[in-house]
Structure 1
């Protein structure tokens, strides 16, 4: 993102310039050089480029039923910027996606390569009663791909609905802590913590969060996301 503008004081003169014109050109270039310095040393430039975080998920990430400006990535970016972080949060959520869909589109979602990923998938697998072995294998594939690319990840967990029985819920819910342990990843245990089943935070379908519900999610997940951003910022600082 370009926070300012650039000035090019170079002057192309045909023929041999007169001494007076040459002196005027030199003075003009000196003035431009002096005035350009504060622009080049602006706080935004001094902080380096924005960190790019891809929020990769389903309708909970995409912002189903709310304005684009109220989606999880949009509200998260605003919250991070309010705390002084220079970030771009990319909305890579697709409504209806299962973990199988996520595997299929992960590669192109990572072009160009982001600095970090928040991985939020699995809710639709659980709603459809898909064998937990399938989302476990799919999430494992995605985490392997992200690890191979050297991209830090915050894994957002999900919980199964009660209608499939205790055994299903036990098998499904264990996916996220197991994979977080396997890959030594930070885990936000339940993406809808404090929002699920709360009618003041959910849309009429009882599943998707309202703008206020998303704000609650952002508030609760912020410490984990800030830790992710801090790791990215530290990595960038080490390169300098």
Structure 2
């Protein structure tokens, strides 16, 4: 009979005493809830969408004009992040085909720098114009509040004076038709200067990109 009482007592103690493997719950002060990390305000994006000029062909990307724009923004304490979406050899057609991939985030400002390779290859102005307008249209359709900037270009008269003149005027016409901000000539003060261009005579040096950045900033700053 005594043994039965001992077994019952042991079972009762096991039931009342918590298992050592159980982690005791932390006590929480009345009225106090666990703090959750605050979401950071998303940084606004400036997307430079272009070819080798934007990519910084022949120099370090950190010396290309989009990176210099980022340096200027940082020095002013402005809350913007620059994305360099430049690709060497890009035409307006290939740019149009890869556009969606870069529109996953809503850019605050979209800078379109394409067409130079079209001109150097003698692609019809109608085709280039159509592709540039299609890029602008797609950005606006997806992000109506995004500011758009079109970087104008000029080409040597290799393709004939009519083609060269029509190419230059094309950017003005597109800007007037779509209402985008126009940089009349991205390489203003740089094109044709051997001291500011690589030996190919097309792509700017680091010093050339510094002047390009100043040109871009003149039109970009009012939008920020």
Residue matched to 2:15: none
Aligned length: 198
Residue matched to 1:153: 148
- Structure 1 unaligned spans of 5+: 1-12, 34-39, 230-240
Q: Match for 1:187 among 161, 182, 191? A: 182
- Structure 2 unaligned spans of 5+: 1-22
Residue matched to 1:228: 223
Contact persistence 1:146–1:152 (CA under 8 A): no
User: What TM-score do you get using the length of structure 2 for normalisation?
Assistant: 0.81
Larger Rg: 2
Q: CA deviation at 1:135?
A: 0.6
Residue matched to 2:94: 101
Q: CA RMSD in A?
A: 2.4
Q: Distance in 1 between matches of 2:77 and 2:59?
A: 26
Q: CA deviation at 1:100?
A: 0.7
Q: Distance in 2 between matches of 1:224 and 1:180?
A: 14
Q: Match for 2:120 among 127, 138, 145? A: 127
Q: Match for 2:53 among 47, 51, 60? A: 60
User: What TM-score do you get using the length of structure 1 for normalisation?
Assistant: 0.76
Runs of 4+ aligned structure 1 residues displaced above 4 Å come to none
Alignment of 1:12-51 (within 5 A): 14-15=24-25, 48-51=41-44
1:116-167: CA deviation from partner (whole Å, max 9, x where unpaired):
2100000101111111111101001111111212122111111121111211
